[in-house]
């Protein structure tokens, strides 16, 4: 790995660690928690958007570099790598949810086939079937991994590859329009404070892939411009700290827009503003001139490495810890309870790493080696 790429990953590790902390704080609000978590964790849902931007950038950059060096994408190799990175830990978590009721943070699960086919994000009734609901974002990412390399190959084969940036911008705008139509349709007529409003809002605006293209699209756009626009790349590397400040300011404005998450402005424009804000911060993280990319921190690098496993398992682990605390009459809503729950989530991520991820990484290397012969 070159020194430039190493610095790039330092910055991205910091952001990945931030993303998982945001998600943990947001979801912890659904459990017994200290009062301050309600305020700090309110915008933690944007951690998923940060993950989307990071995934869009990292995966597209990998594919663009391969297109540039080889003139093609090794689809089989790409899908094998994605399979062994995503599927073993994910299916293990699905197994836990469907075979160990004690692991479930709530009562009802969507049908098993929706998890297996990565279509759980469509028609997801979070009010009545909210167990393992956070798998919705994994469904979107899996669909993205399936489609993006095929889209790049099709565009390259039809000489339309140079218009990819235009297509991405169109898809982001199209996603905004679909949210607008959905909000002005059946959702607007519902009482904002009713369960029916939120059931419909999540099902029609928050969870579907076609309404959540902003983060992934922003990441892909950054990856494309970094690979094929020297002027854009030079700007990023020269203006890293300014991009960070601009991103933070725009993110603050985005949070103001999204203060009422289900409002029309938040639903239509908020997701896009959040994605663009995090896009600027990601650009800062990969910049040679940014403070984010200059130094590696052990804590952020380890949290980044564990983030996927923590994301999968954290709700079940928090539920188990708080249930055990309740049985022994230990307070669960204080700061000590929060620290214990978060440490348990990190411990769970470490278990995933050594029991699932590392063994399957060895298998992946063998499969890739066999397929290269």
Mean pLDDT of 56-64: 96
Q: Check residue 292 and report its DSSP letter.
A: G
Residue 5 pLDDT > 70: no
Helix orientation angle between 214-228 and 46-70, rounded to the nearest 10 degrees: 30
Contact by Cβ (8 Å): 331, 44: no
Tokens of 234: 């030079």
Only one residue has tokens 């300011």, namely 249
Give me the pLDDT at residue 372, please: 67
Residue 350 pLDDT > 80: yes
Q: Which residues contact 348 (CB under 8 A, 6 or more apart)?
A: 309, 310, 313, 314, 317
Euclidean distance between CA atoms 80 and 154, whole angstroms: 20
Residue 358 CA: distances (Å) to CA of 44, 91, 95, 320:
29, 15, 19, 25
In angstroms, what is the C-alpha Rg of the chain? 21
**pLDDT band (50, 70, 90) for residue 8:** low
Tokens of 365: 């290397």
pTM over 0.85: yes
Euclidean distance between CA atoms 212 and 151, whole angstroms: 18
Euclidean distance between CA atoms 60 and 149, whole angstroms: 8
Tokens of 199: 């059931």
CB atoms within 10 A of CB 106: 15
**pLDDT band (50, 70, 90) for residue 317:** very high
Give me the pLDDT at residue 107, please: 78
């Amino acid at each position: 790995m070159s020194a430039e790429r190493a610095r790039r990953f330092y910055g991205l590790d910091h952001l990945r660690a931030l993303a998982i902390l945001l998600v943990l704080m947001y979801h912890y609000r659904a459990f017994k928690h200290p009062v301050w978590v309600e305020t700090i964790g309110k915008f933690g849902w944007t951690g998923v958007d940060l993950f989307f931007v990071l995934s869009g950038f990292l995966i597209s950059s990998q594919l663009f570099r391969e297109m540039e060096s080889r003139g093609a994408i090794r689809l089989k190799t790409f899908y094998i790598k994605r399979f062994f990175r995503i599927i073993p830990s994910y299916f293990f978590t699905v197994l836990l949810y469907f075979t160990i009721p004690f692991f479930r943070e709530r009562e009802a699960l969507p049908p098993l086939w929706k998890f297996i086919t990565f279509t759980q994000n469509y028609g997801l009734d979070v009010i009545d079937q909210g167990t393992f609901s956070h798998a919705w974002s994994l469904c979107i990412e899996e669909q993205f991994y399936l489609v993006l390399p095929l889209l790049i190959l099709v565009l390259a084969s039809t000489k339309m590859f140079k218009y990819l940036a235009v297509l991405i911008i169109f898809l982001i705008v199209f996603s905004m329009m679909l949210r607008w139509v959905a909000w002005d349709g059946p959702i607007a007529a519902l009482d904002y404070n009713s369960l029916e409003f939120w059931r419909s809002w999540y099902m029609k605006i928050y969870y579907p892939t076609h309404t959540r293209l902003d983060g992934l699209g922003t990441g892909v756009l950054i990856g494309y411009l970094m690979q094929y626009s020297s002027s854009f790349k030079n700007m990023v590397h020269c203006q890293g700290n300014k991009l960070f400040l601009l991103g933070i300011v725009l993110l603050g404005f985005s949070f103001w827009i999204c203060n009422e998450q289900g409002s029309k402005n938040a639903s239509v424009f908020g997701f896009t503003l959040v994605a663009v804000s995090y896009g600027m911060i990601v650009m800062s993280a990969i910049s040679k001139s940014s403070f984010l990319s200059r130094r590696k921190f052990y804590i952020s690098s380890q949290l980044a490495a564990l983030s996927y496993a923590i994301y999968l398992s954290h709700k079940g682990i928090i539920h188990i810890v708080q249930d055990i605390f309740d049985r022994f009459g230990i307070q669960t809503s204080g700061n000590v309870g929060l620290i214990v729950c978060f440490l348990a989530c990190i411990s769970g991520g470490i278990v995933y790493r050594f029991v699932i991820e590392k063994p399957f990484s060895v298998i992946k290397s063998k499969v890739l080696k066999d397929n290269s012969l």
